[in-house]
Amino acid sequence: MTIRLFDYFRSSASYRVRIGLNLKGAEYERIDLSLLDGKHREADNLARNPQGFVPTLEFDGHQLTQSLAILDYLDARFPEPPFVSKDPARRSKTLAQALLIACDIHPINNLRVLKYLKGELGASDEARDDWYRHWVREGFVALETMAEGSGRYLGGDAPDLADICLVPQMFNARRFNLDLTPFPTLVRIDAALQELDAFAAASPERVSQSS
């Protein structure tokens, strides 16, 4: 059984899927598509991913797109360890935290939006970066409150879907020099997650070195 992941080392959505695959212990082949070089917009990638995005996961004869949908598939395909709890309240909290990152913070800060701000709207580098930090900060203020009392991870004693989403967003926050001092719980949880091999091996630094 061959699993192929079409991704870009610094793509947050791809980063999530790499973490998920590692947590499930699934071996996979990684194919890098440079977003900076426009490889994701070429015909072969559009054929597998009509949005022209990464990641796409080829698995079980399927071409799976959208990181949270891919993670949901992996969770059904490999039940252990689970990404979400079967308890309805716990499941709802996990999804709320994950979606806060994946739906409220990330989409308005991804590369195509930043390019549009700078290219089409003429925003300066400083204005673009301020935009980025503003939306991450706003989301993290809420997430910090939601994370209080979580335990070692957002998922408690074991990482869950929210943790999978958190680590790539923390990586991006640091890339854009966001002051993380107001978010001690998120910083603590991120540090604990980075100690896990599944998260560390998925990091952009490790992936770029192995490409």
Question: For residue 59, which phi and psi values (nearest 5 degrees)?
Answer: -160, 135
The answer to whether residue 35 scores a pLDDT higher than 90 is no
Q: CATH top-level class for 88-198?
A: mainly alpha
Domain positions in the chain = 4-81, 88-198
Question: What pLDDT is recorded for position 74?
Answer: 98
For residue range 133-191, list pLDDT tens digits in order.
999 999 999 999 999 999 999 999 999 999 999 999 999 999 999 999 999 999 999 99
Question: What pLDDT is recorded for position 208?
Answer: 85
The answer to whether residue 210 scores a pLDDT higher than 80 is no
pTM, full prediction: 0.95
The answer to whether residue 107 scores a pLDDT higher than 80 is yes
Q: What percent of the chain has pLDDT over 90?
A: 89
Residues 6+ apart with CB under 8 A from 14: 5, 7, 8, 54, 55, 67
- Record: fold of 4-81: Glutaredoxin (3.40.30)
